[in-house]
């Protein structure tokens, strides 16, 4: 199990490295969006390729940063119900969820995304909009993103099993959710008044 935990640690480091770098593309997308809007309003010019580039940049961040979201335990779950359950049950739900839902979904998306991308690449599929971008690079994101998510899912599964066996402390045990952090911030602000 120790070798699997080392593998998990390496996967986590890679996921965090990718996520931190790609998250900056949101700023790039915002800048492109602002420049595009200013040019469109002031010079009455527009470009479909710049509009589509915004969508591709957002897609890159959304898809390729999803493993980072999983790593930081910020993925969607019903926290109100989840927090009412005993820790062992929550851990078991995570294992079952990763093993029977997340990982199979990733496999299906990789398998079905392959031909979807390959057909687009073979014909050098272009945007249906005049002056738009090629479509195949954006379609490749499906395979890449779900491959990364699959690998991170394996890492999360390894860690959750190790936590259940008592081999490592829960990496998310002291984690404060975004809502809890916001409530604490509001309470502090009210108390300062």
- What pLDDT score does 175 carry? 63
- What pLDDT score does 89 carry? 87
- What pLDDT score does 119 carry? 94
Cβ–Cβ under 8 Å, residues 52 and 132: yes
Q: From residue 25, give the alpha-carbon distance in Å to each of 43, 52, 127.
A: 26, 14, 22
Burial class (CB in 10 A: 0-12, 13-18, 19+), 47: middle
- Total-model pTM: 0.81
Cβ–Cβ under 8 Å, residues 123 and 138: no
Burial class (CB in 10 A: 0-12, 13-18, 19+), 11: buried
**Which residues does the chain have with pLDDT short of 70?**
78-79, 173-181
Cβ–Cβ under 8 Å, residues 159 and 8: yes
* CA separation for the pair 173, 160 (Å, rounded): 12
**Structure tokens that stand for 176 in this block:** 């404060």
- What pLDDT score does 79 carry? 67
**Structure tokens that stand for 123 in this block:** 């014909």
- What pLDDT score does 104 carry? 97
Judged by DSSP in three states, 126 sits in: strand
Cβ–Cβ under 8 Å, residues 29 and 57: yes
């Amino acid at each position: 199990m120790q070798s699997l935990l080392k593998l998990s640690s390496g996967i986590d480091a890679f996921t965090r490295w990718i996520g931190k770098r790609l998250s900056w593309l949101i700023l790039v997308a915002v800048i492109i969006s602002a420049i595009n809007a200013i040019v469109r309003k002031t010079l009455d010019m527009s470009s479909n390729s710049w509009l589509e580039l915004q969508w591709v940049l957002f897609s890159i961040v959304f898809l390729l940063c999803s493993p980072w979201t999983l790593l930081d335990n910020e993925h969607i779950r019903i926290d109100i119900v989840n927090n009412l359950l005993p820790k062992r049950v929550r851990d078991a739900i995570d294992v079952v969820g990763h093993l029977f839902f997340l990982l199979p979904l990733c496999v299906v998306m990789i398998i079905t995304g392959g031909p979807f991308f390959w057909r687009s690449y073979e014909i050098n599929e272009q945007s249906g909009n005049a002056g738009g971008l090629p479509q195949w690079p954006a379609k490749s994101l499906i395979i890449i993103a779900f491959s990364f998510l699959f690998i991170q899912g394996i890492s999360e599964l390894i860690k959750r099993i190790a936590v259940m066996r008592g081999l490592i402390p829960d990496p998310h045990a002291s984690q404060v959710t975004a809502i809890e952090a916001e409530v604490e911030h509001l309470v502090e602000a009210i108390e300062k008044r």
